[in-house]
């Protein structure tokens, strides 16, 4: 397995292009199952998770062609010949469950493996299933698979009310409702930009949707959808991650394609830490103002709050901040597994349940560390930028699920980052 070696101490100056959002693209791709005509996605990220979703769609009979060096995905589902999403593919990625709603909506039946476990805690799919049941689906869970049928071959509009805002369940319900008979109202819907992006794409395909970005989405089902071309929204998590790079290492970086509305709560915390974030004609420019950053407290919340997917990276910044900060994780349990690795680098972190107290130190020191999940892996690389000496991050296959050409992007701004292929 590959490793990434970071030599700390170099300031970052220059520009970094931000890719299309992984989480948005993984949600948009199953939309091809809703119609016979082609669906083309532009600004697609080139990541291993996208390859996994491609593999899954192809296993169902969809045609997926990667164009323009992978940044364009041309898809067609005119010849679906398999309605079973197999465990061997689904287990690789939880987003695979998003094929369930579209297949059930268009074909009236589907068999989809339950996803595997997740290193950052329980992420059950029960809300996905309850939403589909509300629309009339008959579900039978056996042998690790969801066997789903729509009586009469078509789902029916319904009121779907979630006990809490679930991004994945909102997406699955939204996809399914586009072809359901009648009106579906999703209450306590998630408000993430990726859901807004999905609704905009589905509307181009002929869906009748109102209210995306709010807590209530109304969908009037239609008899059929058409093809479309749609650009994937900017990846706000990649954007936030690279906003932290000059904050940690020093210097000034412009993040091309960055939008303040995607990271407003996050940018407010950076401002409180004495980091300048300004909108430019081409994106966002980030600069650490004076000396050490200030410690700030963070509570993760659903959008538009502080994203859980930026908590690990923010902890890396707080490790060398002036003062003491408390990070509270309210979305996923077990999401502080990067803390012991940061402690190996000299960080002062005390984890108690869903709270991590970080007392800033003057200097981190390079060390061999191990990535435990996607966001933890990049937090260790960010910490390495500020550390004295060499940091070696192993198990970086996690990183390749969510960050496109990370070493190249950081190196272009002056970072000393190198990937070593082989055993770790």
Any binding-site annotation on 246?
A: no
CA distances from 235 to 241, 257, 263 (A): 10, 9, 10
**Residue closest to 13 by CA, chosen among 299, 285, 327:** 285
- What's the half-sphere exposure (Cβ side, CA atoms, 13 Å) at 321? 27
User: Which neighbouring-strand residues pair with 231?
Assistant: 42
The rounded distance, in Å, linking the Cα atoms of 370 and 29 is 31
Any binding-site annotation on 326?
A: no
Strands 416-420, 3-7: parallel, antiparallel or unpaired by DSSP? antiparallel
The rounded distance, in Å, linking the Cα atoms of 140 and 144 is 10
The rounded distance, in Å, linking the Cα atoms of 116 and 23 is 18
Strand order in the sheet with 63-67: 63-67, 72-76, 39-42, 228-231
Any binding-site annotation on 94?
A: yes
In sequence order, what DSSP letters do the residues of 211-266 get, joined into one string?
-TTSSEEEEE--S----EEEEPPB-HHHHHHHHHHHHHH-EEEEEET--GGGSHHH
Q: Is 118 known to be catalytic? A: yes
166 and 206 in contact (C-beta within 8 Å)? no
Looking at residue 198, the DSSP 8-state letter turns out to be: H
The rounded distance, in Å, linking the Cα atoms of 61 and 78 is 9
Any binding-site annotation on 224?
A: no
Quick one: CA torsion of 297, 331, 25, 175, rounded to 10 degrees? -140
Q: Which residues have CB under 8 Å from 171's CB, separation 6+?
A: 27, 98, 101, 190, 194, 195, 198
Any binding-site annotation on 202?
A: no
Stated as kind and residue range, the H or E segment containing 161 is: strand 159-161
108 φ, ψ (degrees, to nearest 5): 80, 0
Any binding-site annotation on 187?
A: no
147 and 140 in contact (C-beta within 8 Å)? yes
Any binding-site annotation on 297?
A: no
Any binding-site annotation on 123?
A: yes
**Of 25, 35, 118, 319, which residue is the catalytic one?**
118
- What's the half-sphere exposure (Cβ side, CA atoms, 13 Å) at 89? 21
Any binding-site annotation on 115?
A: no
Any binding-site annotation on 124?
A: yes
Binding-site residue numbers for phosphoenolpyruvate are 22-23
Binding site, by residue number, is 22-23, 94, 123-127, 309, 331
In the annotated binding site for UDP-N-acetyl-alpha-D-glucosamine, the residues are 94, 123-127, 309, 331
- Which residues are catalytic, by number? 118
């Amino acid at each position: 397995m590959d490793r990434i070696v970071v030599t700390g101490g170099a300031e970052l100056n220059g520009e970094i292009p931000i890719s299309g959002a992984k989480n948005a693209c993984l949600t948009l791709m199953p939309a091809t199952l809703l119609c016979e005509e082609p669906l083309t996605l532009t600004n697609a990220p080139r990541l291993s998770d996208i390859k996994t979703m491609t593999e899954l769609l192809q296993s169902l009979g969809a045609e997926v062609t990667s164009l323009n060096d992978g940044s364009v995905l041309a898809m067609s589902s005119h010849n679906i010949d398999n309605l079973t999403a197999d465990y061997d593919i689904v287990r690789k990625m939880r987003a695979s469950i998003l094929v369930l709603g579209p297949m059930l909506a268009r074909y009236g039946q589907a068999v989809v493996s339950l996803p595997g476990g997740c290193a950052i805690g329980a992420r059950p799919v029960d809300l996905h299933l309850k939403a589909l049941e509300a629309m009339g689906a008959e579900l039978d869970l056996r042998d690790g698979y969801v066997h789903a049928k729509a009586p009469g071959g078509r789902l029916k509009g319904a009121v779907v009310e979630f006990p809490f805002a679930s991004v994945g369940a909102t997406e699955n319900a939204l996809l399914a409702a586009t072809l359901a008979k009648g009106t579906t109202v999703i209450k306590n819907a998630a408000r993430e930009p990726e859901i807004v992006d999905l609704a905009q794409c589905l509307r181009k395909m002929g869906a009748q949707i109102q209210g995306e970005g709010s807590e209530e989405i109304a969908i009037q089902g239609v008899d059929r959808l058409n093809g479309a071309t749609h650009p994937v929204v900017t990846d706000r998590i990649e954007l936030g991650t690279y906003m932290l790079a000059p904050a940690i290492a020093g210097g000034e970086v412009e993040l091309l394609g960055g939008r303040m509305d995607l990271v407003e709560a996050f940018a407010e915390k950076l401002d409180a830490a004495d980091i300048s974030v300004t909108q430019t004609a081409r994106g966002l420019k980030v600069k650490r103002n004076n000396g050490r950053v200030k410690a700030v407290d963070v509570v993760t919340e659903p959008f538009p709050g502080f994203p859980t997917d930026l908590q690990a990276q923010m902890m890396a910044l707080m490790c060398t901040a002036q003062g003491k900060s408390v990070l509270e994780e309210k979305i996923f349990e077990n999401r502080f597994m990067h803390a012991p690795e940061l402690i190996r680098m000299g960080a002062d972190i005390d984890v108690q349940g869903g709270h991590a107290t970080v007392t800033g130190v003057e200097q981190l020191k390079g060390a061999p560390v191990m990535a435990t999940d996607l966001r933890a892996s990049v937090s260790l690389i960010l910490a390495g930028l500020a550390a004295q000496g060499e940091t070696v991050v192993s198990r970086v296959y996690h990183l390749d699920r969510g960050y496109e050409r990370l070493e190249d992007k950081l190196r272009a701004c002056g970072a000393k980052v190198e990937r070593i292929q082989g055993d770790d």
